[in-house]
Amino acid sequence: MDLNCDLGEGAGHDAALMPLITSANIACGAHAGDLATMRETVALAQRHGVAIGAHPGFPNRENFGRRELALTPEEIRATVRGQIELLLTLSPIRHVKPHGALYNMAARDPVIAEAFTFAVHEINPALIVFAPAHSELSRAALSRGLRVANEVFADRTYRSDGSLTPRSESGALIHDEHAAVAQVLRMIREGRVRATDGTDVAIEAGTVCLHGDGPSPVKFARRLRAELATAGVEICAP
């Protein structure tokens, strides 16, 4: 199982989190970060043998890329390509994961998913796309011949259709550490997650996202790694 984390976003925990994860999604200067933070985050990842990935988002720093923007497919393709290329000036990369609103929109909208995966494929068809299983983003990536790592979230709740509960709704985040660990273990062991309406939903877990901007992300990452080790789960990048 892979543990990924969005880094280079200014949350202040990157150095402590890096030894605890296996894939780093590095902000590429649009929703957060700049060349200096990208260079520093790349160096940290290389020092700890962590797989490096691009984390492109909407160019919307005031809302941290979490506000949906009405960009055309060509605009999405251009901004995603430009952000990935910026990171490639500093290091080779193994994967790409959209950020925030771009992630959510690409997961549900086939047009946006096509634009995103077009940009990724143009740059390197060997790149892995991090996406929810059976989402529009996953389908678009697979149809282009890209590999997909099915992503699940440790600290987010799910709706009955398997999508994430929007952050704008109450109950979108899991604040209880024990509950978050239990959710991850069940997703891995059983391929199921309990939705907010109480139903059980099938889910596929290939990589688990740990958010680096929570209240105590380092403490949680240490606990999750320990719990996974106890459960006999091997931690490695896809």
Averaged pLDDT, groups of 10, the chain, 238 residues long: 96 95 97 96 98 97 90 98 98 97 96 98 98 97 98 95 90 93 96 96 96 84 96 94
CATH number for the domain harbouring residue 206: 3.20.20.370
In a domain, 204, yes or no: yes
Q: Which domain holds residue 56?
A: 2-230
Question: pLDDT at position 113, please?
Answer: 98
Contacts for 62-71 with beta carbons within 8 Å, 24 or more apart? Answer: 64/9, 64/31, 64/32, 64/100, 65/30, 65/31, 65/32, 65/99, 65/100, 65/101, 65/102, 66/31, 66/100, 66/101, 66/167, 67/101, 68/101, 68/104, 68/105, 69/101
What is the number of other CB atoms lying within 10 angstroms of the CB of residue 70? 6
Residue 59 lies in a domain: yes
Beta partners for residue 148, in sequence order? 129
Per-residue pLDDT, 167: 86
Mapping DSSP onto H, E and C, the string for 11-55 reads: CCCHHHHHHHCCEEEEECCCCCCCHHHHHHHHHHHHHHCCEEEEE
Rounded to whole angstroms, the Cα distance separating 226 from 169 reads 31
- pTM, whole model, 2 decimals? 0.94
Q: How long is the chain?
A: 238
Tokens of 27: 């902000």
For residue 236, being part of any structural domain is answered with: no
Q: Does 140 reside within a domain? A: yes
Let me know if residue 237 belongs to a domain: no
Q: For residue 182, what are its two tokens?
A: 């239990």
| Type of residue numbered 64 | F
129 DSSP β-pair partners: 96, 148
* 4, 118, 119, 144, 204 from 140: Cα distances, Å: 22, 9, 12, 6, 17
Q: Pull the structure tokens for residue 85.
A: 């290329």
Domain assignment present for 191: yes
Number of domains the chain contains: 1
The answer to whether residue 164 sits within a structural domain is yes
- Please, what is the Cα angle at 224 between 218 and 229, to 5 degrees? 130
Q: Which DSSP symbol is given to 101? A: H
Amino acid identity of residue 155, one-letter, is D
Indicate the angle between helix axes 73-88 and 35-48, nearest 10 degrees: 60
Q: Is residue 130 part of a domain?
A: yes
Nearest to 56 by CA among 1, 12, 112, 16: 112
How confident is the model at residue 90, as a pLDDT? 98
